[in-house]
Homo-oligomer: A and B are copies of this chain.
Amino acid sequence: MSERLEELTAKANNKGVDAAVAAARRVIASLLHAGDGSDAEMTEVADRLNAVADYLDEHAPGVEERMIDMWRGEGVTRHDPVTGPENAIAPPLPLTGKDDGSIEGVVVLGMPYQGPPGFVHGGVSALLLDHTLGVANAWGGPSGMTAELTLRYHRPTPLFEPLTVTGRQISVDGRKIRTTGTISAGGELCVSAEGLFIAKHLPRPR
């Protein structure tokens, strides 16, 4: 019997806005790689990027309309800062649901996510784990909003290497949901997380 696997995060289309966002991610990393010592004409770069932003703004719906559109349906989000193919801040982290109720994803983080020299920012690990625990709830049982999140940092999390991110719902007691997660590199535990979630949701705009 083959294991059931299910994609729990939005897949990039490689066209439309997703392709433009993928290119924007390249720009974010390239700006940081170039830095202030570069002989690139940064004023010209700024002009070119501002022109793109101006063009997009001319073709964007109003914020309210866009908010209703982005929250339409009940499926996975396409805009969040961890997995979203429409959000250039997202690495993005793809997450897959497994038969045993847990979820998992692999991601490589580059320079924009740096904290200590050569390692991932502790707050970025917190961002990834908070989101992963939320997705683990959606996969494993009832889901809700984060009430409390505790992160333990076991060893520095490396940049530029595949990181395995996991999440699993542990228990449900009335409206209280407990969920755990980890980030590992090369089989070694880097960060672990425990979250307490409350089974409630904010209304979607409509």
Contacts and interface: CB of A to CB of B under 8 A. Distances in A.
Nearest to A14: B46
Given A27-B53, A55-B45, A130 B119 contact: no
Nearest to A62: B33
Contacts of A46: 19-20, 22-23
A56 B34 contact: yes
Contact of A202 (B55, B111, B119, B146): B119
Contacts of A30: 52-53, 56-57, 60
Contacts of A79: 32, 35, 111, 114
Interface size class of A (residues with CB under 8 A): 35 or more
A22 B82 CA distance: 21
Given A116-B202, A128-B123, A56 B28 contact: no
B131 A146 contact: no
Contacts of A47: 23
Nearest to A148: B152
Looking at A20, A47, A56, A205, which has the most chain B CB atoms within 10 Å of its CB?
A20
A193 to B, nearest CB: 10
A201 B115 CA distance: 11
Interface of A: 15-24, 26-40, 42-43, 45-50, 52-53, 55-61, 63, 66-67, 69-71, 78-82, 86-89, 111-119, 121-124, 126-131, 134, 145-153, 156, 201-205
A122 B80 CA distance: 11
B35 A117 contact: no
Contacts of A118: 67, 202, 205
A28 B89 contact: yes
Contacts of A42: 15-17, 19-20
A59 B148 CA distance: 44
A49 B35 contact: no
18 contacts: A16-B43, A17-B36, A20-B45, A23-B45, A24-B28, A35-B70, A40-B60, A45-B52, A48-B52, A63-B111, A66-B111, A80-B115, A81-B113, A82-B121, A89-B89, A122-B146, A126-B149, A145-B153
